[in-house]
Amino acid sequence: MLAQQSNEDLPRRQYESGLSFLQGQRYAEALKDFQAVIDSFPRSQVADNALLQVALYHLDVAHDLTSTQTAVDQLLKVYPDSDSAPMAHVIGGRVSMSKGRTPSDVDAAVASFERVERLFPGNDAVPAAGFYAGEALRLVRRHDEALERFRRVSASYPNSPWAASANLAAGYCLVQSDRAPVALAEVQRVRQMQPQTSMATDAININSILYRLYVRAPGQPAFAFSGRFVGDERANFGDVIGVTVDRANRLLLGHKAGIAVFDAKGTLTATVAANEPSAFFVDEAGRIVFARQSALHTEKAASIPVSVPQPAPKPARPVEEIPSVVALSTGQRIVVDKKEKAVIRVGATGQYLGPFVSAINTERLATNTLDDVAMIDKDSKGITVVDREGRPLSKILPKGANYQFDEPVDLVFDQLGHLYVLDRGKAAVYVFGPKNRLITTFTLAEKSPGAFTRARSIGLDAAGRIYIFDERVKRIQVYQ
């Protein structure tokens, strides 16, 4: 017994060391520890856990599907009955999900998730598998089926963190199924079951959006000026190229001198210097990437030129004007090639991956959690929405029931998939829901506080607060 304890002691400590490095985001060190456990103590009780951590790292941090699959395969082959095996099946399903969204990809992913409950009926990974099965279906817009999966998780494992995730995702599905009011109570349950967690914060954010759009509106305006401004009037931000709120809840304002970074309270915390950038976005690692003169620039990193290959012997054509760029969850960048009236797709390292949308005069892109990309068509003044392969999904016509675009200048999705279109000409924000139905219009009288008569750009935070940069006010105004 003592011998067994001492045999287990070293691998366990090394495994815990790896976890500690992982928590501190020192991934290389963490991987060294985990690999040492796997190689030196393959019979220890934590060897399977180490392999699982390696798989999770490759999937969630390195986005390396091949290495993830290798680790999962090794785990399931060597430790098929271990504590980690159920979660390995879950990761295997997630790999299938990440590979693509064809029906066969989805079926493979769902099958992998369903396998967990069949093989390990009482394991903690079962609710995780149930949640990801719902996610696989949600990502391909099978909302009713996804909703059923999410509800099954929250009904079967109400105390599990996965139930909270499922409740949040169920909220999304309900919105997409035009049952947004039902989502309120379902999302609120997360705050009851998992208070003091990040998911409780997610829940209040989602319900804040739902409240404004479905409870306060239409009887009352969905938004009101908060009286709050971000940025100093004297800063004289000129030629603003965009406003965005990243996942860390930082508010970023791109202008001719760079990117100003504000914290959640509106205090300027940093500025990324750039000479007349044309666009910017925040990448997967939270780094600010801006476009300038045919290249994507990242602070403290080499610039990535963006060009389109030409038939030989012509050299590749640099994309000279990039008025907008967004990043998809796959790591691909969707770049507007203004000169060519096209949108192209490039890799995270700048390699050209192909055309995305052609023959469109656009300067503004927005993307949502499904990697759909919405773009303002300057010629038609309408909105075109395509999927992550660039295939058309829908169009919002310049004129529809209860609205008519005059000069749409910016657009943004909230986390529930509502599309907010900023119309400078109308000094209004139009909010479109599922099937591009107009849910509400927000505008303020010209003389009233917070009016945005010369709006330039719009951003949204996680709670659905609107941030509009108005060239007359020269600051960002906050609406809630």
Partner 1 sequence: MSLRAHAWLRTAACLIPLVLASERILAQGDQLSNVKMLVDQARASFDQLDYENTVKALDSAIGAIEARPTAEAKRLLSSAYEMRARSLFGLNKQPGARADFVSLLKTEPGYQLTGQVSPRIMTLYDEVAKLTVTEVRMAVVPPDAEVLLDGVRVPASGTLPIAVGDHTITASRIGYKPATHPFSAIAGEPAVVESLALERVASVFRFVTAPAGVEVRIDGISHGVTKPGPPPAEYAEKAARAGVPAAELSSVLTVTELPIGAHRIEFRKDCFVSAERRQTVDQLDDYVLDPVKLEHAVATLTVTSNQTGTLVLIDGLQRGVAPMTISDVCEGQHLVELKSASGRYFQRVDARTGQKIPIEGTLRPAFALVSASGAAALNTDLRLTIEKQFQSSQSVTLFAPAAEDTAKALGAEKLPQDWLAFDLNRRPLGTAAEVAAVMRSDLSAKLSRQFDAQGIASVTVPSPTSRNRLVVAFLAAGSGEPDVLDVNLDSADAATLAVGRLDRGLLFFKPSLGLTVVDVADLDGPVIVAVDPNGPGAKSGIQPGDVLLKANSLAVPDAGTLTTLLAGRKADDDLTLELTDKAGAAKRADVRVLMTPRLIGMNDQSLMINKILVDLKARLLSPGEPINDSVMRLNLAVALARVGLWSEARLELQRVKLNEGPGVSNGTVQYLLGLAAERMGNAAEAEAAWRAAAATTALISEDGLPVKELAEARLQALQRRPGAQ
Residues lying near partner 1 in the complex (CB under 8 A) are found at: 1, 4, 45, 86, 119-123, 126, 151-152, 155-160, 181-182, 184-185, 187-189, 191-192, 195, 203-205, 207-208, 211, 215-216, 219-220, 226, 463, 465, 480
Please give the structure tokens belonging to residue 417.
Answer: 């998939």
Q: Give a three-class secondary structure readout of the chain.
A: CHHHHHHHHHHHHHHHHHHHHHHCCCHHHHHHHHHHHHHHCCCCCCHHHHHHHHHHHHHHHCCCHHHHHHHHHHHHHHCCCCCCHHHHHHHHHHHHHHHCCCHHHHHHHHHHHHHHHHHCCCCCHHHHHHHHHHHHHHHCCCHHHHHHHHHHHHHHCCCCHHHHHHHHHHHHHHHHCCCHHHHHHHHHHHHHHCCCCHHHHHHHHHHHHHHHHHHHCCCCCCCCEEEEEECCHHHCCCCCCEEEECCCCCEEEEECCEEEEECCCCCEEEEEECCCCCEEEECCCCCEEEEECCEEEECCCCCEECEECCCCCCCCEECCCCCCEEECCCCCEEEEECCCCEEEEECCCCCEEEEEECCCCCCCEEECCCCCEEEEECCCCEEEEECCCCCEEEEECCEECCEECCCEEEEEECCCCCEEEEECCCCEEEEECHHHCEEEEEECCCCCCCCCCCEEEEEECCCCCEEEEECCCCEEEEEC
Nearer residue to partner 1 within complex by CB, 117 or 337: 117
- Shortest Cβ 214–partner 1 spacing (Å): 9
Nearer residue to partner 1 within complex by CB, 187 or 396: 187
Nearer residue to partner 1 within complex by CB, 7 or 369: 7
Nearer residue to partner 1 within complex by CB, 126 or 304: 126
Q: Which residues pair with 431 in a beta bridge?
A: 420, 440
- Do residues 464 and 414 touch, judged by C-beta distance below 8 A? yes
- Shortest Cβ 442–partner 1 spacing (Å): 15
Nearer residue to partner 1 within complex by CB, 342 or 460: 460
Nearer residue to partner 1 within complex by CB, 185 or 302: 185
Q: How many CA atoms lie within 13 A of 436 on its CB side?
A: 17
Residue 357: which residues within 8 A CB-CB, separation 6 or more? 342, 343, 373, 375, 384, 386, 390
Please give the structure tokens belonging to residue 438.
Answer: 């107009």
Please give the structure tokens belonging to residue 196.
Answer: 């003091």
- Shortest Cβ 207–partner 1 spacing (Å): 5
Nearer residue to partner 1 within complex by CB, 59 or 222: 222
Nearer residue to partner 1 within complex by CB, 219 or 313: 219
Nearer residue to partner 1 within complex by CB, 18 or 86: 86
- Shortest Cβ 36–partner 1 spacing (Å): 21
- Shortest Cβ 413–partner 1 spacing (Å): 18
Nearer residue to partner 1 within complex by CB, 150 or 405: 150
- Shortest Cβ 190–partner 1 spacing (Å): 10
- Shortest Cβ 45–partner 1 spacing (Å): 7
- Shortest Cβ 219–partner 1 spacing (Å): 6
Task: Name the pairing type of β-strands 466-470 and 373-377.
Answer: unpaired
- Shortest Cβ 49–partner 1 spacing (Å): 14
Q: How far is CA 388 from the centre of its chain?
A: 13
- Shortest Cβ 374–partner 1 spacing (Å): 25
- Shortest Cβ 451–partner 1 spacing (Å): 20
Nearer residue to partner 1 within complex by CB, 202 or 377: 202
Nearer residue to partner 1 within complex by CB, 179 or 378: 179
Please give the structure tokens belonging to residue 271.
Answer: 């500025």
- Shortest Cβ 5–partner 1 spacing (Å): 10
Amino acid identity of residue 70, one-letter, is T
